[in-house]
Structure 1
Amino acid sequence: MDVPAEAPAPEADRQPGAPHPRETTTLFGQDAAERAFLEAFNAGRLHHAWLLSGPEGIGKATLAWRIARFLLTRPLQSSNAGGGLFGEDLAPAPPRTLDTDPDHPAVRRAAALSEPRLFLLRRPWDAEKGRFKQDIPVDEVRRLKSFFNFSAVDGGRRVVIVDAADDLNTAAANALLKVLEEPPRDTVLLLVSHAPSRLLPTIRSRCRSLPLRQLADQDLSEALRAAFQDDAPDLPALIALADGSAGRALQLHEAGGPEAYAALIALLSDLPRLDRPAMVKLADSAAARGAEDRFDLLLTLTEFFLHRLARTGAMGAAPSEAVQGEGALLARLCPTPAHARIWAQTGAEIVPRARAGRAVNLDASALLIDMFLGLQSTAAGPAAA
């Protein structure tokens, strides 16, 4: 009798609705970061550890995998400037991109996670509990010892990708620090971090910083068109909501973010008046069993709305509309910097209060109604009038 093949374990570093970074060959909007790495490589100044930092979803992991494939397919001596055996003229031309041959054996093995010179450090899947571990435990870092002790049959560099370094628990961070302090020969570590300020200062100091920027609208549009191919949704709405992050755009698309934001703007469009039945209906949509993600989505979108309100007052003009009618609402509610300060203070109070209430299992619908009434109170207040 045939035994069914065991399903592969979920991957903590895979974005729902998107290909894994190791499966993504094109990186949008991060030319400066690629150039910085290539300049160091071509000058023979390849640091043993690199900290790829920036907001989530802008391509840090994709760049880490591009660098890994590049290093795994380049001979060691190619990182030395002017290293031709028979003179400068015969030295290979320095690479201008991180592109690699997709048919190279190391590239194929990396895609299958079977490359012996590549180690991926990430949050493991807990099969017994059916969920990812909350952090990267120290035992995962200790596995690096056997990885470094193993001699790859074809030589060359070893590459370690840590995605994300923010997930390391205290013991794991200290164990990784020891590796960074005494790096094995011919090894490059690539640390992905969404919040580098939270890392140990000693970890940051032993890495060369490679910051990535939020994507410009054009770059984000190209990245989303590549991800969705022929099934592209309403891109202008996603781009406005994504705040320069392709990962955030994909998350919002999967969660119905543009539609939920349109419902939120429709509810708030007459502030300080609120349509009570519409408010209750929207709040109840996040209170059903299994609707926890809907609650988090509405809080995230309310934060986004309040941020855009404050930006409108501070800048004196509303940003490009995410949904129809949003621009007029922003301009009406927040026409001056003084209004921006009021709305910023409101956001600092009501959204965290809703999150704290949910953390202790208070009713989701009641928490959302309280939040919407807080927005109404601010809109009706004399200082905001």
Structure 2
Amino acid sequence: MAESVALTTPRESFAFEQGDAPDEAFLSAYQKNRLHHAWLLCGPQGLGKASFAFRCARFLMGKDRDPSHGALGMSPDDADVRLITAGSHPDLLVLEREMGESKLKKNISVDAVREIGEFFSKAPSRSPYRVCIIDSVDDLNINSANALLKILEEPPRKGILFLISHSPGRLLPTIRSRCRRLTFAPWTDQAVSTFLRARTEIDDEHQARLVRLAHGAPGKALTLMEEGALDMDAFAGRLLERPLPPRAELMQAAAMFKSSSAKNDGAKKFATFMACLTDRLHDRSLSAETSQKGQTYSQLWSRLNMAVGEVESVNLDRGDYFWSIYNELANLS
């Protein structure tokens, strides 16, 4: 069921959909000459926070305004905008997790964060501002977070930081207090559905499942589709039916969850599978024929809802954990 979806990267995204509040807040600060040196962009993953950060970078660094792309709209033909899109603008620094030998590293390193200080120590070379985007600040470890805090304590002249956070409550309070916060609200299910309909050709049933799993984040819906979440969702559904999937298929799933490589991110696939399974368990708890069955499903849902965090925090074997889940599901009457 997995389909190929043409995902637009934040660098390439010129349209900011579903609400002008962030654009207007940033534009107002810019026009009043009260532009904060650090902006904390908060909200669930998939709401366009990174796209907004690049919109602001283009607005600050480019020259050719284009209102057809919104309040912060810039012409794609502007010379600075083209450099930003190509990832080669000398006044823009983007920090993300780096690729290790076989997979993405868990954190943005302290050395990478220290590069920001060096970057801001220089004057802009061709634009009015130097801009740094951290996607995401949630990926900092304690050392890199403290290194960032030192930079925030000494605001750079003609330097602007955009810190993207999916879980701002987990950040150091001292980091949060030194930023201006913009919160991105989840979309309505109808808005996400309309967004998907304009970009995909899947049927209504599968579209409804993606909307449900996305929890108001349109970008997440597209990413889930690209990653084969619909197949994973169907597999999770079959684990709650009879007959159960054949053992060969179960062994293949366990091996996939256990794997960890550049080609197969078992942790990500396991997290997607658990999101699908717990969503279906929640539905079962509400529609069970008896209150006893409903309670059984509800208790299992409540416990498995914490499974991904538990597995990752103590480094449990994801394949073995899958088999334990399977055994519980097999014993459900």
TM-score, scaled relative to structure 1: 0.71
Q: What's the counterpart of residue 106 of structure 2? A: 134
> Which consecutive residues of structure 2, in runs of 5 or more, have no partner in the other structure?
none
- 1:240 and 2:221 matched: no
- Deviation string, structure 1 residues 54-94 (Cα, Å, up to 9, x no partner): 1111111111111111111259xxxxxxxxxxxxxxxxx9x
Q: What's the Cα RMSD here? A: 3.3
Find 1:45's aligned residue among 22, 30, 34.
Answer: 34
**Measured at CA, do residues 295 and 156 of structure 1 come closer, stay the same or move farther in structure 2, by a change above 3 Å?**
closer
**Between 158-167 and 356-365, the greater mean CA deviation after superposition:** 356-365
Equivalent AA in structure 2 for residue 287 of structure 1: A
Find 1:125's aligned residue among 99, 103, 108.
Answer: 99
Once residues 202 and 112 of structure 1 are traced to their aligned partners in structure 2, the CA distance between those partners, rounded to angstroms, is: 34
List aligned pairs for 1:69-88, cutoff 5 A: 69-73=58-62
State the Cα distance separating 1:146 from its structure 2 match.
Answer: 2.5
Contact 2:254/2:318 (8 A) holds in 1: no
**Measured at CA, do residues 307 and 353 of structure 1 come closer, stay the same or move farther in structure 2, by a change above 3 Å?**
same
Contact 1:30/1:212 (8 A) holds in 2: no
**Measured at CA, do residues 40 and 152 of structure 1 come closer, stay the same or move farther in structure 2, by a change above 3 Å?**
closer
State the Cα distance separating 1:102 from its structure 2 match.
Answer: 0.6
State the Cα distance separating 1:121 from its structure 2 match.
Answer: 1.5
- 1:221 and 2:188 matched: no
Contact 1:287/1:295 (8 A) holds in 2: no
State the Cα distance separating 1:240 from its structure 2 match.
Answer: 2.3
Equivalent AA in structure 2 for residue 52 of structure 1: L
Report the number of matched residues: 314
Q: What's the counterpart of residue 348 of structure 1? A: 302
Once residues 254 and 155 of structure 1 are traced to their aligned partners in structure 2, the CA distance between those partners, rounded to angstroms, is: 36
Find 1:260's aligned residue among 206, 219, 232.
Answer: 232
Q: What's the counterpart of residue 278 of structure 2? A: 303
Q: What's the counterpart of residue 253 of structure 2? A: 286
Contact 1:51/1:192 (8 A) holds in 2: yes
Find 1:55's aligned residue among 41, 44, 57.
Answer: 44
State the Cα distance separating 1:340 from its structure 2 match.
Answer: 7.0
State the Cα distance separating 1:201 from its structure 2 match.
Answer: 0.2
**Between 241-250 and 61-70, the greater mean CA deviation after superposition:** 241-250
SS in 2 for 1:67: helix
Once residues 269 and 146 of structure 2 are traced to their aligned partners in structure 1, the CA distance between those partners, rounded to angstroms, is: 37
State the Cα distance separating 1:305 from its structure 2 match.
Answer: 2.1
- Deviation string, structure 1 residues 87-114 (Cα, Å, up to 9, x no partner): xxxxxx9x96111011111100101111
Contact 1:28/1:223 (8 A) holds in 2: no
Once residues 327 and 252 of structure 2 are traced to their aligned partners in structure 1, the CA distance between those partners, rounded to angstroms, is: 15
Contact 1:160/1:190 (8 A) holds in 2: yes
SS in 1 for 2:253: coil
SS in 2 for 1:172: helix
State the Cα distance separating 1:18 from its structure 2 match.
Answer: 2.1
- Deviation string, structure 1 residues 353-382 (Cα, Å, up to 9, x no partner): 6864982365365223124146x2xxx5xx
**Measured at CA, do residues 361 and 156 of structure 1 come closer, stay the same or move farther in structure 2, by a change above 3 Å?**
closer
**Measured at CA, do residues 352 and 204 of structure 1 come closer, stay the same or move farther in structure 2, by a change above 3 Å?**
closer
TM-score, scaled relative to structure 2: 0.81
List aligned pairs for 1:295-334, cutoff 5 A: 295-308=270-283, 330-332=286-288
> Percent identity over the alignment?
36
Q: What's the counterpart of residue 221 of structure 2? A: 249
Once residues 298 and 31 of structure 2 are traced to their aligned partners in structure 1, the CA distance between those partners, rounded to angstroms, is: 47
Once residues 160 and 340 of structure 1 are traced to their aligned partners in structure 2, the CA distance between those partners, rounded to angstroms, is: 50
Computing the radius of gyration over CA atoms, which structure comes out larger, 1 or 2?
A: 1
- 1:20 and 2:9 matched: yes
- 1:98 and 2:80 matched: no
- Deviation string, structure 1 residues 163-191 (Cα, Å, up to 9, x no partner): 00001111111111111111111211110
Q: What's the counterpart of residue 53 of structure 2? A: 64
**Between 111-120 and 197-206, the greater mean CA deviation after superposition:** 111-120
